[in-house]
Structure 1
Amino acid sequence: MKHLNKTATYGCLILASSSTLALSAHAQEVAGAAPGNLESIIVTGTRQANRTVFDSMAPIDLIDASAIDSTTSEDLLDSVAQIVPSFKVQRLPMADGQVFVRPASLRGLSADHTLVLVNGKRLHRAALLGSNGAQSADLASIPSYAIKRIEVLRDGASAQYGSDAIAGVINIILDDKAGYQAFSQFSQYFEGDGTAYRAGVQGGWDLNNRGYLATTFEYYDAERTARSRQRPDAEAYQAAHPEVTLRNPVQDWGQPDRDAVRFALNSQYSLTDNTDAYLFGTYNEGSGMSDFNWRNPDSAVFNKSETYPNFDLKDLYPAGFAPHFGQDDRDLSLYVGVKGIVGQLSWDASVSQGNNKIDYQLNNTINASLGSDSPTDFYAGSLEQDEFTANLDASYLLQNDWFADDLNIAFGAEYREETYKVSSGDEASYLVGPAAKEGLPSGSNGFFGFSPAQSGEFDQDSVALYVDMETMLSSAWTIGLAARYEDFSEFGDTQNGKISTRYALSDNAALRATYSTGFRAPTPGQLYSERVSQGLDTNTLEVFTRGRYSPQGDIAQIINARSDANIASLTPEESNNLSLGFTYQDASGLNASIDFYRISISDRFGTSTTFSLTAEERAKLIALGVTGAESITSVNFFQNDYDTKTTGVDLVLSRKFELGEGNLNLVAAYNYNKTEVTGGDISRNERQRVLLEERLPKQAGNLSASYSWGDMTFNAKLRYYGSWKDSSGNADGDIFQQFGAETFFDIGFNYDITPAIALSLNVENLFDNYPQEATFQANRGLIYSRNAPYDSDGGNYSLRVDVKF
C-alpha cells in the first residue's frame, strides 16, 4: 500500500482552505449535557450509536467551541488545561524544542499516555522526543477556530484504540456548519509584553442536502515574554568591566516568539442513499525563537587557543552571548474514507497520512573549536515523523432474544507505519574543529547540530485486529467487552482487553465501572535516535556536554562492559486501569458525576542512570566518530526504567437554571491525583522519585459561572492548583522546593452588538497573581519555576470581535 503523495496533499489542503471564511458560535456547553440535547451524543469510548454522556460507561468531558474561544491563548493545550482539571501543561522555557512542542499530562501521566483523535481517527505524533523521551501528538498544531467540540475520555482505552490510550483519549471534532464567519483578537500581558494577534475565517457550505464542506484559516503572531532578573555573574562582570555594556537581563526566561498559519478542512458527501465519502485534515506552518543561557566572557568557551592565535571571541562578543534557538515547523494530517450502511451492518474504510517536521536553527552563537573559521548562524538539522494508517471498521446490530436490547458488535483491522527521520545540519553545527584538542567545545554552542552519524531513517509497522461488543443484559444493566491484538515489527505482539458496565439505579442515577489492560509501544524515534546536548552547571556556571544514545547501539555496548550496567532494548509499557463511578442528572438541570480510578503501569519509559565517562570510554567514542565525543562528560539511554501506581478521583457538578431575566450556568470540576513509584531504578533515586511523584499538583479544580441576559453574557472562573515540588538547586541541605497552592481568577464579557457582530473581553488572572519565586537556577536570572504547571507571566487581557456574514 503506497503512501499518499505529500506534495499533492499539501496543495489540495491549502487550495481548499484558502478559498474560505469562518466563525464560532457563542453557546456554552458543559460536561454532562442535559438529557435530550443532541450535542450530548458522544462518539468517543463507544461504538454504540446514540450514546450520551449520561449513558456512558466511562467518564467523558465535553468542551464546545465557545469554551475554547473564551480562553486567550492560541495554543489548544492551554485552553484544555484551563477547562479540564486533570489535564496540565507546562511552559518549559530554555528546554530546547520543548519550549515549542510542550508536554501535557492527563491524570499526571506522560504526554504520550494520552491518545489524540481527530473526528475519531488517530492523529500522528510530533517529531520531538520530550521529557523522558515522550513522543506525543502536538495539540498546538490544531486550529482551535476549526473545532466544533472536544470529547475527553478519562479512562484507559488501549483495547479500543491501540497504543498510547493509557490515561485517556482526546477526540477533536471538527466544525461542519454552514455559513461564513470570522474573528479577530488582540491580547497582551499586564506587564506590556507577550502581545499577540489572532485572526480567523471560516466558510461552510451545505452540498445540496447531500453533505457539507467546511474550511478554516487561522493566523496568529505572539511576541515573547520575559520574567527575568540580571544574572549575578553578569552583574559581577559588568562591575569588573565598565567599558563593556551588558544587556539587562542578559537572557530572557519566558514564552518564545511564535507565529503560525493554520488550515482545516472537513467534508462529507453522500454517494448513494447508504454510502458517504469524507475528506478532512489540518495543516500548520509556524516558526519560533527563544533565548538560551548567556555565555560569560570569563567562561571556558572564550579561552584563546594556539591553533587560532589571532582569534579572540571577546572581539566578536565583548559582552558575552546568549544563543538564539529557533525552529520552523510544519504539520499535516489528511484523512480520506468511505462509509456506509448495509442492512444492520455499518462499515467505514479509510486511509490517513500524517507528517510533522521540525527544522532547528541557531544564531548569535559560535563553534568555538573552529575559531575564526566558525560562522555565527547555524542550521542544526531536522526531525520528521511520518505516519500512514489504513483502517477498516464495521459494526453490526444483532437482534436477539437473549438480552434486553440488540447486541452491537464492532470489529475491525488497522495497519500503521511510522517513519522517523533525522537529517543532518550544516557541517559547522556538528564539526569537531582543530581547537577541540585544546578543550574548546565543538558544535554550534547551545545546541549541537545533527551529524551524518546521527542521521537516518527508522521505521516500524504494526497490524491490529479488534472486537468490541455492547448490550443491555436487562433494562437497567449495560455491559461492554473489548479485545485487541496488535503485532509490531520491532518487538512483537500485545493483547489487551476491557470490560465496562453501567447499572441504572433510576432514570436519574447510575453506577458505572471499567477495567482494562493497556500498553504504549516504543516508537522508532525512541528506539534508534541519538542526541548530543549541552547544559549549564548551576554551581560552576560552566557549560557541559552529554549524550543520549540508542539502547541498541555500539555506545550501549561500551557502557554494558561495566559490571553494574545493563542497557537493554525497549519494550512496551503495560498498564492496568480500574475506574468506579456514579453519575446523576435530573430535569432541573443538575448534572453530577464522581469517578475513582487506579492506573498501574509497569516498565515505564525513562532516562537511565547518567553514566560519567572514563577517559578510556571517551576514547572509544572518539574512535567511533561520535559527534562532540572529546567534550562529552556523560551518557544515558532511554530504558524501561520504573513502575508506578496512580490513584485519584474526578468530580464534576453542573447546574443550569433561570435567574431573574437571564439564565445562570454553574460548573464545578475537581481532580485529586496521586502517583507513586512502586519499583525500578527511580525508586532507588530519591531526587528523581520525589520529582516524578510531586512535580505536579495532586489537587486541581475550577469553579465557573456564566450568566446570559439578553444580548450579554458574563463569565467568571476560579482556577485552583494545589502544592507541588521542584528542584531547589541547593548543593546541600533541602534539595527540593515546596510551592504552595495558587488560585487564579478569570472574567469575561460578551456582547452581541447585532445578530451578526459580537464583542468579547476576557481577562485571565485578573488580580495579576504571581507564584512563589524559585530558588532553582535563580543564579541564571530565573524568577519563577520553569516547570510551573500554570502560566507564571501574570495577568493577561484580550479583546475579540466575531462577525457572521
Structure 2
Amino acid sequence: MTYKLPLSALSIAVLIGMNQQVNAEETEQVERIEVTGSHIKRTDLEGPSPIQSLSAADLASTGSTDLIGALQKLPVSGAGTFSTQGNSSDDTANGGSSVALRGLGASSTLVLINGRRVAVSPFAKDIETSFVDLNTIPVSSVKRIDILKDGASATYGSDAVAGVINIILRDDIDGFEVAAKLSDTADGGADEQNFTILWGSSTQNGHHNFSLDYFKRGHLTYADRDYTASADQRFRGGNNSLSSAGYPGSVEVVRSMLTDEQWARLPVVRTEDDGTQVRQTTFADIWGNDTCDPALDIGNICRYDFASHMTAIPSTERISFNYNGVQEIMDGVEGFAEISAQHTSTFIQGAGSPSFTELFMDGDNPNHPLFNDPDHFLHGVDISMRRRTVDIGNRKKDVDSEYYRAVLGARGEWQAWSWEIAYSAIRSSAVEKGFDGFPNKIRAQQAIDEGLWNPFEPSTNTEAGLAFFETTTTRYGASTMQSLDGTVSGELFELGAGYVAAAFGFEHRYEKIEDNPDSQYIRGEIFGTEATQANGDRDNTAIFAEFSVPLLDTLELQLALRYEDYSDFGTTTDPKVAFRWAPLDSLVVRGSWGTAFRAPSLVQLHLGRTDESPSVIDRERCRQTGADDDCSPYEYTAIVSGNKNLQPEESENYNLGVVWQATEDFSIGVDYWNYEQEDLIKKIGAQKLVDCCGTDPNLVVRAPNQGSTLGRILTINDTFVNIGGRETDGFDVNLAYALTTQELGEFKFNYNLTYALSFEEQSFASDEQGNSFNLSEDLNGEYQHPEFRWTAGVDWAKNDWLANISVNYIDSYRDLADSEGNKYKIDSWTTVDTSVSYIGVEKLTVTLGASNLFNEEAPLAPSESMGIDNKTHSILGRQAYVKFAYQF
C-alpha cells in the first residue's frame, strides 16, 4: 500500500497560524530556546537532563573528516558503535556507521537532525541492527551536536532508550567559505581528500545556508598493516584463524552418502570406551598436481589465509549538498526548510567465496581426486568439498547509495504561545553489485557434474569453464519515512515561584523498508556470502505533553508523557519525571526517571531467510575429540530469519547528578546513571547457540553421532527473539578548567570519564537434558565492554596561534573464551590527537594535525580473525592531515 502524508495539512495549519497571528508586544524579553530533551523553550542550557555538546571546533579538533570518527571517541560511546572499519564482502551494511550510547546498541540510540527523526539505513548492520547512517551528514554542515545521556522516549518516542544524538545544522554562515583537507596514514592506505564550499546570508528577515561537500577515502586492506596481514595470529600470541575453506581445499565425506563398506574403510582416529570406532571424515587435498600447501595442511584441513585479500576500510567517495534556511513570512511568522542530498560510492573486497560442503562430486566422476587409485579408501566414494573458489577471483562489490531529506515547516507566536508544524520526507536507497568472484551454486554443481570445472586441479581449468558458473549479484534496498509533526508551547498559569510552562504536540509517521537481493540469493544459489531480504512498513501516531513546574525559586520539576500507537504491534505510553534544584548559584542538582521502549525494527519483523557463515568453536566436540578443527574457529552455515511475533523492548532508567561551578574558571559534573531493559530483541548468535544448546537438533543441526562423539555441525538455526533483560549502571565525570596568562596565552582543560559499574545481560543456557533457560552474566569488563573510557584535553590560544592536544583512553577487557574456557586480556589502548592552527593571515586558517600521533597499534584480540576488535579499536594508526579554510 502506498501512503502519502497530505501537503494540504501543512498548508492549512500554516494558514490558520497566520490568520490567528497577533502583533507581539514591543517589550524586551529574554530569549528562550528549545534544548535537546525538551519541547519547552527555556532561558538556560543546563536543564534537568545531562547533555554533552560538541561544537564544530570540537569536531575539528578530533582530526576526523566524518562524524563517526569524532563520536566513537566519546567515552559514552560503547559496544555496538561501528564505523566502516571491518567492512568486507561479508558485511551486510557496507559503508555505514553509527553510535551506540552506553553500549546498549545502535538501534537503541535515537539520532535526530535539528530535533527531528531520520530514516534508517536500508541495509541492517550484522543482519539485525537498524541504524541511522551518520555518514549521510557531512561534518561541514554541522554547527553542534547535543548528546542527551538519559532515556527520552517520553519526548521523542521509540529508540531513545540509551539517549539521543541531536545534530544541529549550521545556520550561522554569512558570506562565502571554501575549505580543503588532505590526510594520509603513516603506514599507507585510507588517504583522504575533503573539499567544502559554504555560502550563507543573514538578514533581519531570515538566514539561508548552503554547503557542498566532497569526500574521498582510499582503500585499506588488512595486508596494509604488518600485525593484521595474516589470519594466523600465533606470531602475536593469538589464535590460528586461517579459514577452514582452503585452496584447492579439502575432501569431506558424509555418512549418509556412504555404504557400510565404504564407511568401514575410513581411517579410525580413536576408539571410544564402548568400542565405537570414530572415523576420520575430512582430508586435505594432497593428491594430483595441485595440492594443499603443507604449511596450510593443519588438522587434516586445507586452510586458507584470507587476510591479505580482505577490506579493512572500504574506499569511499561522497558528494553532499545541504540547505538550511529560515525566512520571515509575515510579522511573527517564519517558514523554514531543510534540504539534503547525497550520493555515495563504496568499494569492498573479500577473499574468494568459501564453500562449506554445498558442492558434491560423485565417486565415478573422472575428476574425482582418487579416480585412478582403486586401492585408496576414498576411491569411488561420493564426496563433498570444503574450499574457496579462488579460481574465479576475489569477491568484489560496489555499493552506490542515494540519500534525500526534505523538511518544510512554519513556526510563530499566537498570543502567549509558540507553535511549530513541519512535514518531513526522507529516502535512503542503495544498490549493491557483486561484480567479481561470486559463484552460482547450481551452475557450479553442473560444471562439476559435466566436467567443465575440476575443483581439485585448478591449474587445468579453462576460462570458459570458470565463466560458466561465475555470476554477478545485485541487491537493492530503500528506506523511506514521511512524517507530520506539530507542537505548541507556552505558559499555563502562575505558581508561587513562577509560571507553569507546557508543551503539547503530535507526530504521525509512516516508514517503509525494502531489502531485496536478486533471485539467485533468494533461491539459495549464492554460497559463502551474506545478503539479507526484508520488506515491511508501518505507520505510527503519537501525542505527547510536557510540563515545567517551578515548585520553588530554586526547584524546577519536569513532567512528560507520550502515547504511541503502532500499526504492527500495538500501543505504548511512556512517562518521564525530572527535576533541577539550584540551592546555590554555583550548584545544580539534577535527576530524572522515565520509561522507554524500542519497537521491533522492520528488519527484525520481516527478515526473510538469510544465510551467514560465522566462525564458531564447537567446544563440546572439542572436549570429546581434542582435534584442532574442533578446538579452533571453524566456519559453519547459520540460518537467520525474522519473527513477526516480536514485542517491543521496554526499559526503565534514572539519572542523578550534580554540577558545581566551583569558580568562574573551574566546574565539575558527576552523574550516576542506571538502565534496566526487558524483552530484549536479539539474534542469539551462532557461538552462543552452540555453547548453550549444541545438542538441541532444533537449533544446531549435526551429522549423525559416532558413538558418543557428537557429529559435526551442519547448520545453525538462529532468529530474533525477545530474551530476558539487561541492566547497566555507572557514572560520568566531567571537568573543565580555564586558565588565562599574560605571557603564555589562554588554556582550556577538560576531562570526561564514563565508568560502568555493571553490565548484566541475560542469555541462553541449557542443562544436560537439553532444557534451555535464561542465564544472567555480567559483561562489564568482558568482550567489547571495557569498564571505563576517558578523554582528556587542552586547548591553547595565543595571538595568531591555536593548538590542542587530547588523550583518548580505553580500558583493558577480556576477550571471548577459547575452546578451554580461558579469556585473554585485551590490553588498554591510549592514543593522542593534536593539531596546530595559524590564523595570522586575514580570513585564512591553516591547520596541521595528526590523529593517533604516536602510531599506537590496536591491541591483540585473539577471538577476531585478524586479531583486532574493529568496533572498539582502530587499524588506521597515525593519520596526519593539513587543512586550509578561507572566508570571502
Q: Same fold (TM over 0.5)?
A: yes
Amino acid of the residue matched to residue 378 of structure 1? T
Partner of 2:125: 130
Q: Is the 8 A contact 1:215 1:265 kept in 2?
A: yes
- Alpha-carbon separation, structure 1, partners of 2:501 and 2:611: 52
- Alpha-carbon separation, structure 2, partners of 1:320 and 1:658: 65
1:508 maps onto 2:589 in alignment: no
- Alpha-carbon separation, structure 1, partners of 2:365 and 2:199: 62
Q: Is the 8 A contact 2:40 2:490 kept in 1?
A: no
- Alpha-carbon separation, structure 2, partners of 1:687 and 1:594: 29
SS of match in other structure, 1:115: strand
Shift of the alpha carbon at 1:404?
1.0
- Alpha-carbon separation, structure 2, partners of 1:165 and 1:775: 34
- Alpha-carbon separation, structure 1, partners of 2:362 and 2:442: 9
Change over 3 Å in CA distance of 1:638–1:240 after alignment to 2:
closer
- Alpha-carbon separation, structure 1, partners of 2:550 and 2:695: 62
- Alpha-carbon separation, structure 1, partners of 2:65 and 2:364: 50
Q: Is the 8 A contact 1:283 1:332 kept in 2?
A: yes
- Alpha-carbon separation, structure 2, partners of 1:506 and 1:75: 41
1:179 maps onto 2:179 in alignment: no
Q: Is the 8 A contact 1:259 1:288 kept in 2?
A: yes
Change over 3 Å in CA distance of 1:87–1:431 after alignment to 2:
closer
State which of 643, 666, 681 in structure 2 corresponds to 1:551: 643
Shift of the alpha carbon at 1:321?
4.3
Amino acid of the residue matched to residue 729 of structure 2? T
Partner of 2:442: 369
Partner of 1:140: 135
Partner of 2:876: 793
Partner of 2:515: 422
State which of 799, 810, 817 in structure 2 corresponds to 1:710: 799
State which of 795, 815, 831 in structure 2 corresponds to 1:726: 815
Partner of 1:698: 787
- Alpha-carbon separation, structure 1, partners of 2:820 and 2:309: 27
1:73-108 deviations in Å (ceiling 9; x for gaps)? 333122122245445634344451345223422112
- Alpha-carbon separation, structure 2, partners of 1:777 and 1:667: 34
TM-score norm. by structure 1 comes to 0.82
1:757 maps onto 2:851 in alignment: no
- Alpha-carbon separation, structure 2, partners of 1:39 and 1:70: 30
Shift of the alpha carbon at 1:176?
1.0
Shift of the alpha carbon at 1:668?
0.7
- Alpha-carbon separation, structure 1, partners of 2:397 and 2:488: 48
1:455-470 correspondence to structure 2 within 5 Å: 457-470=535-548
Gaps of 5+ in 2: 8-29, 233-241, 248-290, 297-303, 370-384, 448-466, 618-628, 702-712, 767-772
Partner of 1:160: 155
SS of match in other structure, 1:681: strand
1:202-250 deviations in Å (ceiling 9; x for gaps)? 11122x5211111111111111223332455679945689xxxx99954
1:762-792 deviations in Å (ceiling 9; x for gaps)? 11111111132232255xxx142334x1313
SS of match in other structure, 1:575: strand
Partner of 2:571: 493
More divergent stretch after superposition (357-366 vs 145-154): 357-366
SS of match in other structure, 1:770: coil
State which of 654, 665, 672 in structure 2 corresponds to 1:589: 665
Partner of 1:217: 212
Shift of the alpha carbon at 1:573?
0.7
SS of match in other structure, 1:77: helix
| Identical amino acids, percent of aligned pairs | 22
Amino acid of the residue matched to residue 596 of structure 1? Y
Shift of the alpha carbon at 1:310?
8.7
Partner of 1:570: 646
Shift of the alpha carbon at 1:472?
1.4
Partner of 2:236: none
* Bigger-Rg structure (1/2): 2
State which of 647, 662, 665 in structure 1 corresponds to 2:748: 665
1:439-475 deviations in Å (ceiling 9; x for gaps)? xxx3154235x6xxx56x4111111111100031111
Q: Is the 8 A contact 1:85 1:702 kept in 2?
A: no
State which of 504, 521, 536 in structure 2 corresponds to 1:411: 504
- Alpha-carbon separation, structure 2, partners of 1:229 and 1:320: 22
1:105 maps onto 2:100 in alignment: yes
Change over 3 Å in CA distance of 1:612–1:794 after alignment to 2:
same
State which of 477, 485, 488 in structure 2 corresponds to 1:391: 485
Partner of 2:456: none
Partner of 1:772: 859
Shift of the alpha carbon at 1:415?
0.6
- Alpha-carbon separation, structure 2, partners of 1:618 and 1:653: 51
More divergent stretch after superposition (354-363 vs 493-502): 354-363
Partner of 1:784: 868
1:280-334 deviations in Å (ceiling 9; x for gaps)? 032222122223344579x757865799989999999666743224422222221
Shift of the alpha carbon at 1:572?
1.0
Partner of 1:19: none
Change over 3 Å in CA distance of 1:306–1:462 after alignment to 2:
farther
Q: Is the 8 A contact 1:108 1:673 kept in 2?
A: no
State which of 537, 552, 555 in structure 2 corresponds to 1:477: 555
Partner of 1:517: 595
Q: Is the 8 A contact 2:176 2:199 kept in 1?
A: yes
Partner of 1:359: 431
Tell me the number of residue pairs that the alignment of Structure 1 and Structure 2 aligns.
719
1:250-649 correspondence to structure 2 within 5 Å: 250-252=308-310, 254-294=312-352, 321-362=393-434, 363-371=436-444, 372=447, 374=468, 376-400=470-494, 402-425=495-518, 427-431=519-523, 442-443=525-526, 445-448=528-531, 454=533, 457-535=535-613, 537=615, 540=629, 543-552=635-644, 569-585=645-661, 588-608=664-684, 610=689, 633-649=715-731
More divergent stretch after superposition (129-138 vs 661-670): 129-138
- Alpha-carbon separation, structure 2, partners of 1:39 and 1:759: 36
- Alpha-carbon separation, structure 1, partners of 2:739 and 2:388: 68
Partner of 1:150: 145
Shift of the alpha carbon at 1:64?
0.6
Q: Is the 8 A contact 2:354 2:388 kept in 1?
A: no
Change over 3 Å in CA distance of 1:311–1:614 after alignment to 2:
farther
Shift of the alpha carbon at 1:707?
0.5
- Alpha-carbon separation, structure 2, partners of 1:606 and 1:616: 18
- Alpha-carbon separation, structure 1, partners of 2:365 and 2:778: 47
Amino acid of the residue matched to residue 366 of structure 1? P
Shift of the alpha carbon at 1:399?
3.8
TM-score norm. by structure 2 comes to 0.75
1:612-652 deviations in Å (ceiling 9; x for gaps)? 89999999xxxxxxxxxxx9822221111120111011111
Change over 3 Å in CA distance of 1:302–1:119 after alignment to 2:
same
1:195 maps onto 2:191 in alignment: yes
- Alpha-carbon separation, structure 1, partners of 2:683 and 2:292: 37
More divergent stretch after superposition (105-114 vs 699-708): 105-114
State which of 20, 37, 41 in structure 2 corresponds to 1:45: 37
Amino acid of the residue matched to residue 741 of structure 1? S
Gaps of 5+ in 1: 7-37, 433-441, 553-568, 620-630
Q: Is the 8 A contact 2:850 2:881 kept in 1?
A: yes
Q: Is the 8 A contact 2:128 2:604 kept in 1?
A: yes
Amino acid of the residue matched to residue 545 of structure 1? T
Amino acid of the residue matched to residue 340 of structure 1? G
Q: Is the 8 A contact 2:32 2:42 kept in 1?
A: no
Q: Is the 8 A contact 1:108 1:675 kept in 2?
A: no
Amino acid of the residue matched to residue 787 of structure 2? K
- Alpha-carbon separation, structure 2, partners of 1:739 and 1:154: 27
- Alpha-carbon separation, structure 2, partners of 1:314 and 1:48: 62
- Alpha-carbon separation, structure 1, partners of 2:697 and 2:679: 32
- Alpha-carbon separation, structure 1, partners of 2:387 and 2:310: 23
SS of match in other structure, 2:552: coil
Change over 3 Å in CA distance of 1:224–1:495 after alignment to 2:
same
Q: Is the 8 A contact 2:858 2:873 kept in 1?
A: no
More divergent stretch after superposition (575-584 vs 125-134): 125-134
Shift of the alpha carbon at 1:749?
0.5
